[in-house]
Amino acid sequence: MQADESGEVSLTREQFESMDMELGDPAPRLFFSSVAANGYIEASPTGSARIGTLVSGRVRQINVATGDRVRTGQTLFSLESYEIVLLQQNYAEAAQRLKHLKSDFERMEQLWQQNVGAKKDYLKAESEYKQMQAEVEGLKIRLEMIHLNPSVIENGRIVPYLDIKTPVSGTITRQELVLGQYVEPSKIAMEVVDEDMLRLRLELFEKSMADLAKGQVVTFFTPDQTDRTYQAVLTHIGKTVSPESRTVECYAELDKEDRGHFINNMYVEAAIITSETQARAVPEEALIAEQDGNFVLTLIREEEGRMTFRKTPVQTGISSLGYTEIRDENLKNVLLKGTYNLWVEE
């Protein structure tokens, strides 16, 4: 359809309804100013664990696989090695040796206090006792670090293997072991991530930092589901600019109900809402954009089943999410839907 020389265009009520057109007034709507950012879903520092060993050994048993849920303290796998046995033997022997040296030291101390023993014998006994005390304490700490009980070992019970346990609850996201494999202390054998402690890490360019404040809403989506938007709340704003990327790291807290939808290190696209304004607006499809400005079609009369519209200039403002602000206060009876079907520029 084309407008006549007066800039008017008309159609029947029947045509209007068959083309699913819509008539109405500009309506109040919230507009948001935002800062764009790229981001990643990741576990907080206390919500994930990369698990290795403090001693080398051969994998004796594997109890979990990738995707399994585990709880804090659960055994993930076990190692066996000569080093594990030797450490326990050294502790047991040193603990017994310490008892003898302690007895000798206490005896020499009594003799020295009674002016019976020689000072050099007392000092020698004291030195040997304290040296062995330090050695036993060091071995004891090493055993406790690998979760072996020194008291049990002192009583002569030595185990040939070591159980490796998880320090956090969560899901196994990485498992790189096979039975019989020799594992060095520097190797990361498994990774556990607690989905309840996932958060959003954002990377923002330094020029965007001035508008940020804690508590602002973050909207984001994953590239494979652009039609589904999630929300988070900005909780931490970084104070250091990366020299390589010129970005600043910020963090946002996810809604608890949404955390189950994500996996660790998932990429997302986000926007941090920095301000919001309410204004009267129309759908962007209601606008006719021309070189000399923006226009809408307004209903000027309806007679004998025929509707007549006129192209009306409008002052527009901000646009967001498919809507545009209209600054003309008295604008009414706007064709909100179907403008493209009705208006064909000459």
Residue range 183-234, pLDDT digits in tens: 998 889 999 999 889 999 999 888 888 888 899 999 999 888 888 889 999 9
| CATH for 53-187 (2.40.10.10, 2.40.50.100, 3.40.50.1370, 3.40.50.300) | 2.40.50.100
∠ CA 190-269-279, rounded to 5°: 145
Distance from C-alpha of 202 to C-alpha of 85, rounded to nearest angstrom: 47
Indicate the pLDDT class of residue 268, thresholds 50, 70 and 90: very high
* Per-position DSSP letters for 250-302, written without gaps between them: EEEEEPGGGGGG--TTEEEEEEEEEEEEEEEEEEGGG-EEETTEEEEEEEEEE
- The gap from C-alpha 240 to its chain's centroid, in whole angstroms, comes to 19
Other Cβ atoms less than 10 A from the Cβ of 2: the count is 9
Report pLDDT for 80: 93
- The gap from C-alpha 100 to its chain's centroid, in whole angstroms, comes to 55
Indicate the fold that domain 34-46+195-277 takes in CATH. Elongation Factor Tu (Ef-tu); domain 3 (2.40.30)
Distance from C-alpha of 220 to C-alpha of 252, rounded to nearest angstrom: 11
Indicate the pLDDT class of residue 4, thresholds 50, 70 and 90: low
Mean pLDDT of the chain: 88
- The pTM (predicted TM-score) of the whole model is 0.65
Residue range 116-168, pLDDT digits in tens: 767 788 788 889 989 999 999 999 999 999 889 998 998 889 998 999 999 99
Lowest mean pLDDT across 117-126, 155-164, 243-252, 263-272 = 117-126
CATH number of 8-29+278-342: 2.40.420.20
3-state SS string for 56-72: CEEEEEECCCCCCEECC
